[in-house]
Structure 1
Amino acid sequence: MGNKRPSKKRTFVMFSNLRNETSKGFRCKAFPAYLSGFCFQSAKVLQILLYSTLIFISLSFGCSTTALLKVGTLTVLDSLPLRLAQHKPIFTENHLVVETVYFESPSDLRAALMNGKVDAIITDLVGALLLNDQQERVKVVRVALRTSSSRPMFAIMTTPHHPITTVRGLENARIAISREASDKYVAEKLLGAAGVNRWTETEVSSAQTGLEMLQRGEVTAALLSEPLISVALGFGARVVLDDRRLLLGQTVVVFNQHVVNGKPAIIRRFLRAYEQSVRELNVRPNQYRSLVMELVRAPSEVSASLPIPLFTFPGEVPTESDVESVNTWLVAKKMLLQPVPYRRAVNAGFLWDPYQFRPAACCGW
């Protein structure tokens, strides 16, 4: 009957061995008998063969149809997994063509989702709930980035112009806060939890404007997020309050409801690629410093040292208590007529089971 070809399991082991061999140098004995007629001249050729085979195996388990998605975001660290998935290319492995569209403001970002100019966005949880006021328009399918106990997403900062070193010094202070609902929510929660009862809010068009006013000494303090926190630290500003204890900061991946209804399999494929990208970033963050410098609008000396966050992995969605807290505040501020039901806002059904996770082949795993 002749020599039998090795089984799929045997083939996988063979290529694993080849990768080990090529890391040490070329050895012909690594080849099985049915490839003995081939003789490669360098280990590099073997590595290319290995890479191509792994890509083929990876793609063979996916859908053969390539899907196009447009995803909107701001130029912030929260969208770094998107940038990496295009760079590697993880999206290509998952038969996706993803166009990332960058916007100048959160309001423009959310308007693009509502107008159908993009299929999905990365935005804050407050904004996501506002989009679902009165009717089901969008779904939160994953947390993009959360505040952690080691890394804040928001901070109230003061400059050397105002010698405030404690929270008590913020009483009756003039604080620059962006007009975005999410910033107002975080500021009120931070100040209220710290026991600050009175302050003068100076509403600004953006946190960038607040930073500039802080630097000129026109306000006592300002609510900032990264990379503006790092920029402010660079000119001598001090952190008086941040959200590491309250864990207020949270951005989410949001899909238009039309896409949720019509293309659920594509959302699953997108989130598989997103998981792979997040895992790669969390394991080897320093390898992608150049992507941070491309993405984040900050002086090069800031982006070169900006802490790369640990992204949420495995994927999760906002908790019911997260949504309830935001709902309560929005209703109190009359931004919502009534709370948005959790099931209208969030769908956890697209998340991947961690036990089914497989790293991207193009990342060398």
Structure 2
Amino acid sequence: MKKITLLPILAVFAISLFFISCSNSAKNSSSPQTLNLGVMSSMDYLPLAVAQREGYFEKVGLDIKLHKFYSANDRDAAFQSENIDGCIIDYTGAILQKAGGIDLKLTSKCDAPFYIVASNKSNINTLSDLKNKQIAVSKNTVIDFITDMALKSVGLNDSDVKKVEINKIPVRFEMLRNNKIDATGLPNPFALMAQNAGDKILTSNDSLGFSITGIVFHKKAITDKSALITKMYEAYNMGVEYLKNHSAENIKDILSKELGFPEEIIKETQLPDYSPTQLPADKDIVATIDWLKNKGLIKSDFDQTSLLDAQFIKK
């Protein structure tokens, strides 16, 4: 019986493993990292939507996936489970998650108008007329915050009105249109649709002088993917520049397909004055934190300085 020598077999096996390892290393090194960002159908998403349509991400050499969510709860769940690196979110939501233990950083503000709209049969013409009226809100959310800021601007508070909790935006819109409530907070296109049908826009966060949404990333994503985030903001700023030089008619495909704008509303839409990448104003963050503290939703010692990360803001 011949003796079987294992050395040649082991040598071949070792060489095979070496080449497989090299092949996998080459594959991994040649596969670009992907930045995963969560977005919703809102106006603050427009610079990114334009960047995607116009090829700005490719121009700056970025592999990015925009994950579209139709519910804030779904977006938050994806972010908290780290299935996405970052997302567009309102300041109230970002601060609540930070206070809840999610290691996130707010890296920039966004531009998204939210409006306080009154029914055309409510006899409400100014914010002061909201006293003793029914206002639909989604409790402890950005809509609730905006409502309180609007009331505060005319010397009222939430005890001066009758708040009705209605979480879903389309339901609030329908109840406003059917005169089941006197007023509510709405984003576009719902606010413009209501105005087009005869309801009255009383104010917006823009008119009140504060921003309410921004982009957050996990601290780990900032550490591991800082170069990708930098490129994302380059493309974002290119999208802002496009929006400054074009009208709603030039992006009607995005407004219609991505944000659900009816054709007749697009013709009347004035785009927000989008700004290049910048941090939220301190006063906006302080106002949000104070509001959440007063409601007992975050602790009184919440550290504002731990929330912001300015490294992606051009000097």
TM-score band (shorter)?
Answer: 0.7 to 0.9
Distance (Å, rounded) in 2 between the aligned partners of 1:292 and 1:245: 23
1:101 to 47, 67, 73: 67
In the alignment, which residue of structure 1 is the partner of 2:285?
323
* Structure 1 residue 270 displacement after superposition: 1.5
1:59-78 deviations in whole A, cap 9, x for unaligned? xxxxx973311111111121
C-alpha contact 1:132 1:340 (8 A) present in aligned 2: no
1:312-354 deviations in whole A, cap 9, x for unaligned? 12x210122222111111111111123532331111111234x
In the alignment, which residue of structure 1 is the partner of 2:265?
302
Distance (Å, rounded) in 1 between the aligned partners of 2:168 and 2:210: 19
Please show how residues 43-62 of structure 1 align to structure 2 within 5 Å: none
Please show how residues 129-208 of structure 1 align to structure 2 within 5 Å: 129-133=95-99, 135=101, 137-145=103-111, 153-179=113-139, 181-197=141-157, 198-208=160-170
Tell me, what secondary structure is at the counterpart of 2:34? strand
1:245-285 deviations in whole A, cap 9, x for unaligned? 42234211111121012222221121112112211221234
Cα separation, partners in 2 of 1:233 and 1:134, compared to 1, 3 Å: closer
Distance (Å, rounded) in 1 between the aligned partners of 2:275 and 2:299: 32
User: How many correspondences in the alignment?
Assistant: 283
Distance (Å, rounded) in 1 between the aligned partners of 2:50 and 2:63: 13
1:243 matches 2:205: yes
Distance (Å, rounded) in 1 between the aligned partners of 2:193 and 2:312: 37
C-alpha contact 1:327 1:339 (8 A) present in aligned 2: no
Cα separation, partners in 2 of 1:67 and 1:227, compared to 1, 3 Å: same
2:255 to 281, 286, 292: 292
1:275-304 deviations in whole A, cap 9, x for unaligned? 122112212345323222222123222234
* Structure 1 residue 236 displacement after superposition: 0.8
Cα separation, partners in 2 of 1:114 and 1:238, compared to 1, 3 Å: same
Which protein has greater RCO, CA pairs closer than 8 Å, 6+ apart? 2
In the alignment, which residue of structure 2 is the partner of 1:311?
274
C-alpha contact 1:71 1:101 (8 A) present in aligned 2: yes
* Structure 1 residue 210 displacement after superposition: 1.1
Distance (Å, rounded) in 2 between the aligned partners of 1:117 and 1:352: 28
C-alpha contact 2:109 2:211 (8 A) present in aligned 1: no
In the alignment, which residue of structure 2 is the partner of 1:80?
46
Q: TM-score, normalised by structure 2?
A: 0.83
In the alignment, which residue of structure 2 is the partner of 1:44?
none
C-alpha contact 1:167 1:240 (8 A) present in aligned 2: yes
C-alpha contact 1:140 1:346 (8 A) present in aligned 2: yes
C-alpha contact 1:186 1:249 (8 A) present in aligned 2: no
C-alpha contact 1:81 1:277 (8 A) present in aligned 2: yes
C-alpha contact 2:127 2:150 (8 A) present in aligned 1: no
Q: What letter corresponds to residue 155 of structure 1 in structure 2?
A: Y
Distance (Å, rounded) in 1 between the aligned partners of 2:268 and 2:31: 40
In the alignment, which residue of structure 2 is the partner of 1:271?
233
* Structure 1 residue 199 displacement after superposition: 0.6
Distance (Å, rounded) in 1 between the aligned partners of 2:286 and 2:127: 27
Q: TM-score, normalised by structure 1?
A: 0.72
* Structure 1 residue 95 displacement after superposition: 1.7
**What residue ranges of structure 2 are gaps of 5+ in the alignment?**
1-29
1:111 matches 2:77: yes
Q: What letter corresponds to residue 336 of structure 1 in structure 2?
A: I
In the alignment, which residue of structure 2 is the partner of 1:20?
none
Q: What letter corresponds to residue 236 of structure 1 in structure 2?
A: G
* Structure 1 residue 167 displacement after superposition: 3.1
